[in-house]
Amino acid sequence: MRRLRKAGLMEKVIFFLLFAVTGLSAKVSRADWLSEASNRFDAALSSGNTLIAIGLIYLVGLGTALTPCVYPMIAITVSVFGAREAKTKLEAALLSSLFVLGIATPFVPMGLAVAWTGGVFGSWLSLPWFDVLFALLFALLAASMIGFFELNLPPSLQNRLAELGGIGPKGAFALGFACAFVAAPCTGPALISLLSYIAKTGNLVLGSIGMLAYALGLGTLFWVVGTFAIALPKSGRWLEWIKSAFGIVLLVVALHFLKPLMHGTLSSLERNHWLLGIGALLFVLSIPMGAIHLDVKEGSPIERLRKVSGVLMAALGSFLLIIWLELPPPGAKLVWRSDFEQAMAEAHTKRLPIILDFGAEWCGACGELERKTFSHPRIVREARRFVAVRVDLTEKTPQEEALLARYDQRGLPFVVLHHSDGREAYRITRFIGPEEMLKILKEVH
């Protein structure tokens, strides 16, 4: 039911960053354009189009290769499995490819297993404590990336893994397999984020190809250096800056998991300049504050305080800007009625079709439907010929439970559409994008 409710989070963070770079102020007046672009993006993901997601997962893997746990290993590792000593470019490419294949070997089955068992979490995902638990987990991972502590394998295990391999094809593959685990301090947080995303979608294609894309992204620099003997820029502070940026993204993910608890507040908001201004101001001020360049491990107490404040400002500012992107433009809201019996009687008398939406503040997918689908301008226009009724199940009174039982339905989200003669037309029990919803509405008369 809520398997897709968080499926676009990582993509939205990147979408927001791209949007900011290309000129935020130039598009403020085009709220309808932005709403259309955001909704098309969500509709593509929800309809099973995983190409965008897989491409971005590759970029996450490539970004992980630029962290301090991985980047310094590249030149040394390439020398260990013999790519630099290869007699031809073809031999170097073969050894480098086997190394990358070794990296992918543990990741792909992991992605398949998580996608296959993703449905197990379906019932848990409707519980508020599950969102809080995941928010705490991602906040902990963010703290690790920012530098408060390290997530390391035991030294004895790291040494044993590092000793695997040697020169030649078998050594290249074995060393790649080992590197997938040796790089765990930096790959772990990104990997957990991706696996939780795959678990929510339950998509086997995304589970296998997505994790392969992550492994290919992680191994790209190894392959390029091994095949073409390219000298990479020296390690330096910039690696820690990339790690801090990953930490900020993970903190935004943590805030995203708390969104269902804010549903009551978010559902009353519309896109406005105040929210945009506050989010942009926090994000911009976080840079000179020290969100990226300061170090919590080596800095003075004042610098550590600036670093923490800057990271929190960057995460909160990014979160507010993503919320702003999701909110409907002013006036783009469907007016819902709450008087069920009276509304149904009126629809019957006037021979009007009905949209009946069962929702709750703790239901993430219900909030997604409200913000992305029912607030779309074309949906609002089409729905004007319907009687729109919403049943709020946040408190679940006996009357509301009986109403839900009348439709022999237990879970949320749940939307029922009736023809004007009272016959049931469609049932919707998952998040769908505006294009799919518009097609359904046009078929109800």
pLDDT value at position 127? 60
- pLDDT band at residue 332 under the 50/70/90 scheme: low
Look at residue 1 and tell me if it is in a domain.
no
Find the domain containing 377 and state its range.
Answer: 340-442
Q: Say whether both 287 and 347 belong to one domain.
A: no
- pLDDT band at residue 328 under the 50/70/90 scheme: low
Q: Say whether both 243 and 213 belong to one domain.
A: yes
Q: Which residue has the higher pLDDT, 440 or 360?
A: 440
Q: Say whether both 306 and 384 belong to one domain.
A: no
Q: Which of 215, 234, 257 is the last residue of a domain?
A: 257
Q: Say whether both 376 and 427 belong to one domain.
A: yes
Could you give the 3-state DSSP secondary structure of residue 410?
coil
Q: Say whether both 223 and 129 belong to one domain.
A: yes
Look at residue 209 and tell me if it is in a domain.
yes
d(Cα 304, Cα 375) in Å, to the nearest integer? Answer: 42
Contact indicator for 240, 292 with CB cutoff of 8 Å? no
- pLDDT band at residue 419 under the 50/70/90 scheme: very high
Q: How confident is the model over 24-39, as pLDDT tens digits?
A: 333 333 334 344 444 4
Q: Say whether both 320 and 363 belong to one domain.
A: no
What is the number of other CB atoms lying within 10 angstroms of the CB of residue 150? 10
Domain count, the chain: 3
Look at residue 34 and tell me if it is in a domain.
no
d(Cα 102, Cα 80) in Å, to the nearest integer? Answer: 15
Look at residue 136 and tell me if it is in a domain.
yes
Closest CA to 12 of 371, 294, 265, 323: 323
Q: Say whether both 273 and 244 belong to one domain.
A: no
Name the most confidently modeled range: 196-210, 319-333, 379-393. Answer: 379-393
Name the packing angle between helices 89-116 and 73-80 (round to 10°).
110
- pLDDT band at residue 118 under the 50/70/90 scheme: low
Q: Say whether both 125 and 239 belong to one domain.
A: yes
d(Cα 171, Cα 161) in Å, to the nearest integer? Answer: 12
Q: Which of 257, 278, 305 is the last residue of a domain?
A: 257
Q: Which residue has the higher pLDDT, 121 or 422?
A: 422
Look at residue 13 and tell me if it is in a domain.
no
Closest CA to 1 of 253, 333, 260: 260
Flag whether pLDDT at 13 surpasses 70. Answer: no
Q: Which of 257, 277, 296 is the last residue of a domain?
A: 257
Q: How confident is the model over 230-259, as pLDDT tens digits?
A: 767 776 777 788 888 888 888 888 888 787
Q: Say whether both 105 and 153 belong to one domain.
A: yes
Q: Say whether both 354 and 237 belong to one domain.
A: no
Mean pLDDT of 178-192: 71
State the alpha helices, DSSP H only, in 202-236: 204-205, 211-228
Instruction: Say whether pTM exceeds 0.85.
Output: no
Greatest CA separation found in the chain? 85
Look at residue 26 and tell me if it is in a domain.
no
Look at residue 41 and tell me if it is in a domain.
no
Name the most confidently modeled range: 196-200, 321-325, 329-333, 436-440. Answer: 436-440
Look at residue 361 and tell me if it is in a domain.
yes
pLDDT value at position 45? 46
pLDDT value at position 307? 92
Contact indicator for 118, 199 with CB cutoff of 8 Å? yes
Q: Say whether both 147 and 227 belong to one domain.
A: yes
> Do the strands 354-359 and 387-392 form a parallel or antiparallel pair, or are they unpaired?
parallel
Q: Say whether both 65 and 192 belong to one domain.
A: yes
Q: Which residue has the higher pLDDT, 399 or 344?
A: 344
